[in-house]
A and B are shown apart, each in its own frame.
Chain A
């Protein structure tokens, strides 16, 4: 259990276009999902925290108008990179927190990631 999927796995787009990345928790409900960005050979940098039914919380330095996050249901969060530029090329990974009924947990389960290349 605790499977998180991401779609697409790879995307190549032209500069100026927008790209939407989906993150789904397949076998559990996730009230909280996180979006990370990872550059080659570097660590995961948290971009934003996505809570179902409310606005996302962005980390300092992350432009909320450029990286639009929507968490419309307990199993789906989307990240839209608007007007993408080559410097947005990166590996984007989501994670979902699995909350057990009547218990609190911090365990995050990661999606497989989306490699975005902006030409």
Chain B
């Protein structure tokens, strides 16, 4: 089955710096890669996603890149702010035959943005 590795497990940056979180996946059939932000005790919130037919996607300060050949994808947050502090999860999913694929999550990265 699919296996998703996520690094680093913790990341501390100064406000205004950039943060990069990387994930690798094992199943080349995976074709959907969302990123979730989870604050303590709250639900995961989708912040950005990318499909396998696209190499990069950007939404304001957040961008995701995908390298299908190497089977890795990364989350980039620029101009970080204290409110970006949270746990970020990457995930991979396989979509087949009209059925929605279940998400396989990475172990998460705790991002701390210091003012």
Contacts and interface: CB of A to CB of B under 8 A. Distances in A.
Interface in B75-115: 89, 93, 95, 98-108
Contacts, number: 55
Interface of B: 32, 34, 36, 41-46, 49, 89, 93, 95, 98-108
Nearest to A97: B100
A110 B103 contact: no
Interface of A: 31-32, 34, 42-46, 49, 93, 95, 97, 99, 104-113, 115
Contacts of B108: 42-43
Contacts of B32: 106
A104 B95 contact: yes
Contacts of A42: 107-108
A43 B42 contact: no
A112 B42 contact: yes
A108 B33 CA distance: 11
